[in-house]
Structure 1
Amino acid sequence: MSISIPPHLTPLLLTTLRILPLLGSTASLTHAYMEYVTTSSFLTPAPTSSILTKRIANAKTASADPPSATAAKELEAAKEKAIPAWFVNFFNRAVWSVIGFNGLTTLSAIANLYFFPEALGEAKSLYVTGLGCAIAHYVFVIFVQPSIEALFKKGVAQGKGQVEDGGRSAVSWLREWVRAHSWRMWSVDLLAWGCFLGGVVRVFSVYV
């Protein structure tokens, strides 16, 4: 079976175009996972008794004993101050890479499907599904928006030396964001990556 090369498109450019949605979705999924790792770290106790911790830190100081009530209270108070300022910094930077990676996925998938669909064959349905999942990523904005706005208000208030009391703690708002983000990552982000991976394998399987 031969590959039909569209006019004015070299084999190298066509190969790159077919792979771009997979590269974009891989970057998006990796980015999403690292966002989950960094944000969820505020929500769970430090694993002070893990093997890695004991190897890196002094084994005598790495203990499985829970922190005292005073230490736990001080840690929670510190989180309330740190999370809003950290989240505002984190979001202002991360949002552009998220848009960039997902934009690469979306635009390259559209280019494959509507401008250069020749020889996609059975992979076309996978590219269509992958594109739908990449677009669905933005649907989750309605689920993360409340927590984002709440954390930004707290962060701005802290920057002015004020106390923004929205009735909920920064930890609870961050937990809500992580929950919605996790659903998005393990559903549409993962499915988009899987579809484009399968699509690329099918497109290039004709060479085998």
Structure 2
Amino acid sequence: MATRAFFDPIAALRAAPLLTSTCTLWWAMDEHFFLSIFNTPEIRSKSNELLPTYFKEFFEGGLNRTLALLTLTISSTMATCFVNHGYHWANKSLRWYTAGMVLTAGHLAFVPAIAPKIKAIVEDTSKGESTKDLESWLSVHTIRTLTVDLAAWVCFVIGTAREIQGDWD
């Protein structure tokens, strides 16, 4: 088919989990960078005043972005595994795609650890010490980024590489 010479939808589907998990990882690193600025010593006292309002707005937009990326990663992984099931077993990429999908879903396992910290920041329950709550949130966020987000991305890199390698064999 001539169309596949320019655009192969199956190849795009195989690459989609890698693309969306890359975006998730990038967003997580950006969140850490942008929010860590509030805890720099030079502006920390001013941050305590601004942080509850800022974080409320930041979190609402960030939550939508994060959930969209996680949903796209999981659904594109399920679709590519369904479409290429037999092929995936032959080149062993199914294991990597499945592990990446499970790790992606594992991002949500951190909600019970993070939700109270978000609430504390937004509602300023520490009365003017929101940067301490942010510091706590950033700690869990870093652990989540370096475990499930990074590990999912690595799985998708390996799975996609096996797909590309299989196409060239």
TM-score by length of 2: 0.88
Distance in 1 between the 2:10 and 2:82 partners? 14
Does 2:87 match 1:119? yes
Aligned equivalents of 1:14 and 1:76: distance in 2? 50
Measured after TM superposition, the shift of residue 115 of structure 1 is 4.4
* Gap regions ≥5 residues in structure 1: 1-9, 47-74, 155-164
Alpha-carbon deviation of 1:168?
7.4
Residue 79 of structure 1: aligned partner:
47
% same residue: 27
- Give the structure 2 partner of residue 138 of structure 1: 108
Cα deviation for residue 40 of structure 1 reads: 1.1
Shift of 1:116: 3.4
Separation of aligned partners in 1, 2:164 and 2:44 = 53
Residue by residue, what CA displacement relative to the aligned partner does 1:154-195 show, whole Å, maximum 9, x if unpaired?
2xxxxxxxxxx5467201100011001000101100000010
The Cα offsets for residues 107-138 of structure 1, whole Å up to 9 and x where unpaired, read as: 11111223431311311110111011000000
Aligned length: 161
Which runs of 5 or more structure 2 residues have no equivalent in the other structure?
A: none
Pairing of 1:3-14 with structure 2 (within 5 A): 12-14=8-10
8 Å CA contact retained: 2:96, 2:158: yes
Conserved in 1, the CA contact under 8 Å of 2:48 and 2:128?
A: no
Correspondence for 1:30 among 26, 29, 49: 26
- 1:105-184 aligned at under 5 Å gives the runs 105-120=73-88, 121-154=91-124, 165-166=125-126, 169-184=129-144
Which stretch shifts more, 104-113 or 187-196? Answer: 104-113
The residue identity in structure 2 corresponding to 1:105 is T
Distance 1:86 1:138 in 2: 23
CA contact (8 A) 2:48 2:131 kept: yes
Are 1:100 and 2:68 counterparts? Answer: yes
In structure 1, what is the equivalent of residue 37 of structure 2?
41
Instruction: Give the deviation of 1:27 after TM superposition.
Output: 0.3
In structure 1, the partner of 2:14 is 18
